[in-house]
Structure 1
Amino acid sequence: MESAIFEIFDGLPRQGPGSNECTEKAFNMLSSLPAGTKILDIGCGVGMQTIHLAKICKDCYITATDIYQPFLDKLMENAAKEGLDDRISTVCASMDDLPFEAGEFDVIWAEGSIFILGFEKGISYWKQFLKSGGYMAVTENTWFTNEPSEEVVEFWQEIYPGIMNIPDTEKVITAAGYDVIDNFKLPVSAWYEFYDNLEKRVDEISDNYKGNTEAEMILEFNRKEIKLFRERPDEYGYAFYIFQKNKL
């Protein structure tokens, strides 16, 4: 099953919904970054956002982490093509067991990855690696309606029962010792582009897993996920949350 998951996402330009425009919009909400800003990109995948961060922040040094080494290899291959490999390094590590020093980073970035830990657990654990006054910018699954349809509720109860609306998510951020700076919804177009690529990839590799019951379940789940979002794009999605660690 794990093999199928990695094969699906290894073939995508981005491992979750997002865009360079959204990455840049979130980054522009950060202020007073020091010279030689150190950014930690957690769950980076093949690093489309990592590379864009390096492009828009020319005095930043980025450490990108993922649990899957082939993603990191692809990231560094692309970084070298862009002439950015001198400011990007990678570490193969699980996001719940990171090998860094306390207060090592000015910014922690996580697009499409924190749900693996859970939002509250993620921002609480990662907080130790931020300097006082350091920033965190993450995308999180979010309700955009107070009355989601029954089918959508059932789907999210199965895969991520911790999904919240924007006000409740911001309460969690504040309770964890951060000051909220801003948030914004990712546009539906970011999901459609991701799902178009995902759907093609699922179709491409389906024959490789015929007879593998667990893998077939994963592929079918992806098809269900894509179909549901196309039917209900206004009920849920990602919001980008930008917040700052309380200054000591």
Structure 2
Amino acid sequence: MVESPIFEIFDGLPRQGPGSNECTEKAFNMLSSLPAGVKILDIGCGVGMQTIHLAKICNDCHITATDVYQPFLNKLMENAVKEGVDDRITTVCASMDELPFEAEEFDVIWAEGSIFILGLEKGISYWKQFLRNGGYMAVTENTWFTDEPSPEVLQFWQEIYPGIMNIPDTEKVITATGYDIIDHFKLPVSVWYDFYSNLEKRVDDISDNYKGNTEAEMILEFNRKEIKLFRERPDEYGYVFYIFQKNK
């Protein structure tokens, strides 16, 4: 699985999905009454830009960062050492649907740009067991911003993530799964442009390496299509940060 060319594409990026330190901090500041020595689980962390920022802004915490691709975790710890927060971070190479943790082990579960791999309902249902009662979850999720998306955008999302919903429907799924909504906010368009600028350059840089590799060429072409579509229709969809609390 980890030999897929998709890992080489994203390995060269500062983040593996749209986001920013400002958005991470805004979401974290919505959490209240955190215990001393707060334990945070960051699922699908990639190279961990958000992991490191959480470690910086939460002095009294320990973060367990998981990803299925060990080179991402190696890069995360390399950066954590440079930033002086490596003592607050532990990495675990594990799939997000087979996590090796104890029940109610964490006070906060964090997932930026990763829950779509499982789907929202499946992800928050499975991860819930690792969260203490009253613990928080903060995830970014693909979300419709219009009730009438253009045909090409609708087709694109039906192919890659048919579970995409608008904000009210997303929050209904969250509450039905046993959480109370704390808040939500849209990620600004600028974080997508920054991410896609880096992704586009990376795709161009490595394209020649994969000439004749059908799987890789399809992935690279898909990325180009995704970038083009968002630049044409940035008001129709995007990420929303959802912050919610386990109630049962």
Compute the TM-score of the two structures, normalised by the length of structure 1. Answer: 0.99
1:48-197 alignment to 2 at 5 Å? 48-197=49-198
Aligned positions, number: 247
Aligned-partner SS, 1:202: helix
Deviations 1:17-46 (A, max 9, x none): 000000000000000000000000000000
2:227 alignment partner in structure 1: 226
Q: CA deviation at 1:62?
A: 0.2
TM-superposed CA distance for 1:161, in Å, is: 0.2
Task: State the Cα distance separating 1:213 from its structure 2 match.
Answer: 1.0
Deviation, structure 1 residue 245: 0.1
**Rounded Cα–Cα distance in structure 2 between residues aligned with 1:187 and 1:85:** 29
Match of 1:63, as an amino acid?
T
Q: Distance in 2 between matches of 1:44 and 1:111?
A: 7
Q: In the alignment, residue 30 of structure 1 is paired with which amino acid?
A: L
- Counterpart CA distance in 2 for 1:237 and 1:93 is 27
Letter in 2 for 1:7: E
CA distance in 1: counterparts of 2:88 and 2:188, whole angstroms: 30
- Structure 1's consecutive aligned runs of 4 or more residues displaced over 3 angstroms after TM superposition are none
CA distance in structure 2 between the partners assigned to 1:213 and 1:31 by the alignment: 49
Q: Over the residues paired in the alignment, what is the CA RMSD in angstroms?
A: 0.8
Q: Give the superposition deviation at 1:3.
A: 2.9
Q: Percent identity?
A: 89
Question: Which residue identity does 1:23 align to in structure 2?
Answer: T
Which residues in structure 2 correspond to 1:21-60 (within 5 Å)?
Answer: 21-60=22-61
Other structure's SS at 2:4 match? helix
Q: Structure 2, unaligned stretches of length 5 or more?
A: none
CA-CA distance at 1:148 after TM superposition: 0.4
- Give me the whole-angstrom Cα distance separating, in 2, the residues matched to 1:71 and 1:158: 27
Q: What TM-score, normalized to structure 2? A: 0.99
Q: What are the equivalent positions in structure 2 for 1:231-246 lying under 5 Å apart?
A: 231-246=232-247
